[in-house]
Structure 1
Amino acid sequence: MLYLFLTFVVLLLMVTGTRGFTLLFGLGINIISIVALLILIADGFNVLITTGIISMIILIVAIYMNVDNANTANTAFKTSLIIMVVILLITIPLEYWASAQGMAAENQDELEGFSLAAGLSYPQLAISIIVINSLGVISETSVAITSGLNEIVENKPTLTPSEIFDDGFSVGNKILNTQTNTLLFNFFASTFPLFFLIHTLNYKFGDIINDKLVVAEILTTLICTIGVILTVPITSYLIYRKAGKKNSK
């Protein structure tokens, strides 16, 4: 593990130069933030409030430490915050309705001998997992769309706000294909062992789509995908609105 980490650091510095130190510093802050989130939740702090605060810290580090253009960073941060709120509004009722939180029957061997009185709200914990899981792909998508759209606006200052909005969708559509495939591949990669177990136990289709672990993974993937898709119109609208204000002045 140590050799692999050193290889990662060397390759990062070779490709990015001195900027690699900034990337490593930001990565370290985000790792510490995730560990702090786990500790605070385990110590009894409110799961949703703590997740919201840590999520803002992660977004600030992920965006402002990796984007040089202040306008791009500000727009990407606003987009990510809006989508994070939307994801919360979608996830909170959905998690309570689906009842996919907590452990499933497949976990009984690992849980044998342990007390299940953890003192945590598993629905809130499931919401926290989905929000944290979505932050990376949402911030990446918003930065990519904002960077591309700002470059178009800088090279063509005569564009009207409506043309900027259309260009935002054009840029976003190209990025969406890659990001949705990434989420899909992550879903299958994380559920491969589970599907092998399901196949071995000869689960019926109805059992599979009602299995708690499968439903939890599907919900996470679908909600993250919705967040990525919403990045396109929200980012386009923010830049469209900014261009409209500039033209009016």
Structure 2
Amino acid sequence: MLKKFFIPGRFKNSVFIKDSNGIKINKTVIIVGISLILSIIGLLFISNNESYYNKTIAKITSITEQNSADKQMNTQYIRAVILNGHYKGQEITLENKTTNSQALDLKFGVNDEVFVKIQGNPDKKIVSSDIIGFKRDNYIAYVTFIFVLLILSIAGSKGLKSLTSLVVNVLIISVVFNLYLHGFNLILVASIASFLFIFTSLIIVSGVNKKTFSAIIGTILGTLSAMLVAIVIFKVTDANGIHYEEMEFLTTPPEPIFVSEILIGTLGAIMDIAITISSSIQEMYSKNPTIEKKLLLNSAREIGNDIMGTMTNTLVFAYFSGSIPMILLWLKNGYPLYEIININISLEIIRMLTGSIGIVVSIPITMYISMVLLKNHKIGLRS
């Protein structure tokens, strides 16, 4: 019979399972082992899932390449075998043209799998075949497998909770998109989804306790403060100076989409700050219940100041990294940097500044809420 028990000392936070033979097994090892088995099964399935696709898939068996005279264009003459559908097992020839930059095209290799368009005659013989896309699910599965294995190996049950939270949030985002496509107000739907993100993420990962409650309130108030500042600025300035060039392909007004982007993008950083502050205060108090209230507050403030700087930089890197190709393009065409920043990446600057406001506001809010919740424990006195 299996029994759970805790080992004092350096293993006090590790859960072990003891069987009838007295063998001790770390819970993390069990989680990682089960996940490893499931991941291997998943990888085997994805590596042989061609029959589940409606599109025709072919596996490249050989490639012959030929460069153009100016060496700016490369033509690949490909032989491949069809893996699914009516023409399964038949060999086809394909042609693929690539440029040196490969910005709008792909260069294939042997054993790559591609989606192809097949045209046949009434006798079910192939007349022509063309490549229409690259089958990427294998590579996505490999990266996902590594990510899952690492997070479970390092964080154990906490990592499993984090993965569960991630899956739940992805489902919420998919619901948001579907509701918007069915005519619902995007800002309203995104606001409701943000509350769900906060509650599900923090409760699943940290459980139902005062630390989580402090982080939830701090995240909500910090996000609302940031959004309120952004909306007031938009109203006062009538959104002058905000350029929506990157959304010019949209057939709907860009403002609701941009506000929703700010809301969801800001939420992640503020949530990270809030749970870090509340967790730090709770941990310091639990390690030293006699700690003075002033000392606890100063320590929490110091932690918050350090995180504030790193998280602000994180927002800068996250938002500007996606604009690097456009920045380089405009610079190569002779546009001055100030004009690029003013016109072409103004949206990223607004997102970054709004998120930074939320971070700054959430730190003191979470600190004082955590202190209030610990008040019943009479900070500075032994319980």
TM-score by length of 2: 0.57
Structure 1 residues 124 and 4: CA distance shift in structure 2, 3 A? same
Match of 1:41 in 2: 180
Match of 1:199 in 2: 331
Question: Which sections of structure 2, spanning at least 5 residues, go unmatched?
Answer: 1-139
Deviates more, 1:51-60 or 1:32-41: 32-41
What do the CA deviations read for 1:146-198 (whole angstroms, capped 9, x no partner)?
11111222233334544433232112112223212212221331221121122
Amino acid at match of 1:178: T
Cα contact 1:161–1:244 (8 A) shared by 2: no
Match of 1:26 in 2: 165
Following the alignment from structure 1 to structure 2, what is the Cα–Cα distance between the partners of residues 152 and 208? 47
What's the secondary structure of 2:290's corresponding residue? Answer: coil
| Selected match of 1:17 from 142, 156, 174 | 156
Amino acid at match of 2:372: R
Structure (1/2) with the larger helix percentage: 1
What's the secondary structure of 2:323's corresponding residue? Answer: helix
Task: Trace 1:44-193 onto structure 2 (pairs within 5 A).
Answer: 44-68=183-207, 70-95=209-234, 97=237, 98-99=239-240, 103-104=244-245, 111=249, 117-118=251-252, 121-193=253-325
Deviates more, 1:36-45 or 1:81-90: 36-45
Following the alignment from structure 1 to structure 2, what is the Cα–Cα distance between the partners of residues 29 and 102? 34
Match of 1:218 in 2: 349
Higher relative contact order (CA 8 A, sep 6+): 1
Structure 1 residues 217 and 61: CA distance shift in structure 2, 3 A? same
Deviates more, 1:135-144 or 1:92-101: 92-101
- CA positional deviation for 1:145: 1.0
- CA positional deviation for 1:79: 0.4
Amino acid at match of 1:185: F
- CA positional deviation for 1:241: 2.7
- CA positional deviation for 1:206: 4.8
- CA positional deviation for 1:234: 0.8
What's the secondary structure of 1:76's corresponding residue? Answer: helix
Deviates more, 1:90-99 or 1:125-134: 90-99
Q: How many residues align?
A: 238
- CA positional deviation for 1:49: 1.6
Amino acid at match of 2:373: K
Structure 1 residues 100 and 124: CA distance shift in structure 2, 3 A? farther
Following the alignment from structure 1 to structure 2, what is the Cα–Cα distance between the partners of residues 193 and 15? 35
What do the CA deviations read for 1:96-140 (whole angstroms, capped 9, x no partner)?
533566741x676xx4xxxx543xx42122111001001111111
Structure 1 residues 144 and 107: CA distance shift in structure 2, 3 A? closer
TM-score by length of 1: 0.84
Cα contact 1:95–1:127 (8 A) shared by 2: no
What's the secondary structure of 2:233's corresponding residue? Answer: helix
Q: Given the alignment of the two structures, is residue 238 of structure 1 paired with residue 377 of structure 2, yes or no? A: no
What's the secondary structure of 2:205's corresponding residue? Answer: coil
Cα contact 1:137–1:228 (8 A) shared by 2: yes
Following the alignment from structure 2 to structure 1, what is the Cα–Cα distance between the partners of residues 361 and 349? 18
Bigger Rg, structure 1 or 2: 2
Structure 1 residues 10 and 151: CA distance shift in structure 2, 3 A? closer
Structure (1/2) with the larger strand percentage: 2
What's the secondary structure of 2:183's corresponding residue? Answer: coil
Cα contact 1:95–1:126 (8 A) shared by 2: no
> What RMSD in Å do the two structures reach over aligned CA positions?
2.5
Cα contact 2:202–2:212 (8 A) shared by 1: yes
Q: Percent identity?
A: 25
Following the alignment from structure 1 to structure 2, what is the Cα–Cα distance between the partners of residues 21 and 145? 22
Following the alignment from structure 2 to structure 1, what is the Cα–Cα distance between the partners of residues 181 and 244? 17
Structure 1 residues 20 and 82: CA distance shift in structure 2, 3 A? same
Deviates more, 1:133-142 or 1:239-248: 239-248
